[in-house]
Every structure is written in structure tokens, then in C-alpha cells.
Amino acid sequence: MLDVKILTGYPEMFPGGLAHSLMAKALNENIFKIETINLHDFGIDNRKSVDDEPFGGGPGMILRPDVVEKALLSVSNKQNLNSAKIYLTPSGSLLNQEKLGFFSKLDEIIILCGRFEGVDQRAIEVFGFEEVSIGDYVLTGGEIAAQVLLEGCIRLIPGVLGHPESLLEESFSNNLLEYPQYTRPRVWEDSLGKKHDVPEVLTSGHHGSIKKWRLDKSVEKTKKIRPDLYIKKEQEQD
């Protein structure tokens, strides 16, 4: 079982999207569990404040290191070596499928959700938080980002997906984007009366031709939309 602990000022945001569909099934089957730790329980004054103004000036508030320490020590299992501590921040290393695969094999994940201007750097360094970003954009806090990361890694745990072989062909599994998909009707007539056919090869029943078409389309799509991935794919083959 993957044991997830979330350090957050907004525990009511969890499990959020993780309480639906395949994630709900995995949660009910004890493939993973989530425990939220309210940072305000470790606040430093009558208002249970968890943040303060940045040294050197500037806008926003910074999560205090002493608050992070108390919250972390309340849940951290130092005996668990197969564990990761993650701080979600736009300035972290970019989350990708390889990282998700690594996280999915852990026994424990502790996620620190910052707010506004972030977390005191001393807490990040002292407790060894890995700084991770879900993309080149900024959110108000780390709670939604935590759910993105968790869904991405939990779905890779054996037993979560009904068809695990689908993991082998989806986007990023081999540094290629997934090929286009089609379903019924075979000929779709849109609201303007124009007809759109499914590519003929997909209805041919010739598995070798279908496999080649899908690979060709994956390469074509990757070169067009994510040339950086295609370059990485070519470098792997050299």
C-alpha cells in the first residue's frame, strides 16, 4: 500500500478528485491511503499562524520552517527508507512520466503544499524535500498540484488500471505522444452535414498494418507538437 501524507493548510481539499473513478476504487481497495495533516494545528500564536513576511522585503507570505518541522515530525517514519518527501513548487524539477514511475514504487510519499510565496528554504534543505513542478505556470497553492502528481503515480501501481497493457502505448511511455484514437460511428456526419471517416487501416483487421500506422502517427504527432521529445527519442536510439 502506498501511504500518502499531505501537509497542508487546507485539508478539506482532499481527497478531492482522488475520491472518484479509478482512484476511488484504488482507495477503497487499500492500494493507497491518504492522511492530511493540518499545518494550522502547529501554528505559532493564538491565530495559529503558519506563515510570515519574507526577509528582504517583497509581497506575499512564507511558510515558517518551525511549523513545517512540527507538522513533519508528527507523521514522519524515519524507519521507512522507501519514502520520498516532495515540495510542490513552480521552481522545482519538471514532473514527468519517469518520475511518476519512480514515485509509484514507493511505500510512502509525504507532500508539502505551499501557499502564496512559498516555503522557507531552510525547511526544504534541512528535511530533504524534493522540489517538483507540474508545469511552467503558477497556482495559488500546492493542493491541486498534489492531486495531479498522486493520480499520475497511483494509476501506475499494479492493479489500478483494468487494462495494464495500455500503459505501454500511452503518451510519454517511450518518449512519443500517443497515436490518435477513433470510435463509432465509423462515418460521422457533423452538424454542417460534412462526413468524416475513420482511417481505413483501423478497420482492416490487419494487426501489423495497424501497429505500423499507430507508430507512424505517434512519430508524426510528436515531431509536430513536442519536438523536444522527438529529439530525446532519437538520442536514445543513437
Taking only the tens place, the pLDDT of each residue in 204-213 is 999 999 999 9
148 and 173, same domain (yes or no):
no
Q: 86 forms bridges with which residues in the sheet?
A: 111, 130
Examine residue 160 and state whether it is found in any structural domain, yes or no: no
150 and 37, same domain (yes or no):
yes
Domain count, the chain: 2
Please report which confidence band the pLDDT of residue 78 belongs to, taking 50, 70 and 90 as the band edges.
low
Kindly tell me if the per-residue pLDDT of 96 is higher than 90. Answer: yes
Question: Burial level of 120, CB count in 10 A (0-12/13-18/19+)?
Answer: buried
Vertex 130: Cα angle to 125 and 131 (nearest 5): 95
40 and 142, same domain (yes or no):
yes
Provide φ and ψ at 109, rounded to 5°: -130, 125
pLDDT of residue 116: 79
Examine residue 117 and state whether it is found in any structural domain, yes or no: yes
Asked if 42 and 71 count as a contact pair (C-beta separation under 8 A), the reply is yes
- DSSP strand E in the chain: where? 2-8, 32-38, 51-52, 62-63, 83-94, 108-113, 130-133, 187-189, 195-197
Q: Which domain, by its residues, includes 207?
A: 169-237
Tell me the C-alpha distance between 167 and 160, whole Å.
11
119 and 197, same domain (yes or no):
no
pLDDT (tens digit per residue) in 54-71: 999 988 899 999 999 999
Query: Does 185 sit behind a cis peptide bond, omega within 30 degrees of 0 on the bond before it?
Result: yes
143 and 176, same domain (yes or no):
no
Asked if 202 and 213 count as a contact pair (C-beta separation under 8 A), the reply is yes
Examine residue 159 and state whether it is found in any structural domain, yes or no: no
DSSP H or E run through 98 = helix 97-104
pLDDT of residue 16: 97
Tell me the C-alpha distance between 72 and 75, whole Å.
6
pLDDT of residue 117: 87
Q: Is 147 helix (H, G, I), strand (E, B) or coil?
A: helix
Q: 2 forms bridges with which residues in the sheet?
A: 32
Question: Burial level of 197, CB count in 10 A (0-12/13-18/19+)?
Answer: exposed
Examine residue 164 and state whether it is found in any structural domain, yes or no: no
84 and 195, same domain (yes or no):
no
pLDDT (tens digit per residue) in 24-56: 999 999 999 999 999 999 999 888 999 999 999
Give the Cβ contact number of residue 207 at 10 Å: 8
pLDDT of residue 178: 87
pTM of the model: 0.86
pLDDT (tens digit per residue) in 128-177: 999 999 999 999 999 999 999 999 999 999 999 977 666 666 666 678 99
pLDDT of residue 170: 62
Provide φ and ψ at 5, rounded to 5°: -125, 125
Provide φ and ψ at 71, rounded to 5°: -65, -45
Tell me the C-alpha distance between 111 and 72, whole Å.
10
Q: Which three cell numbers stand for residue 181?
A: 484514437
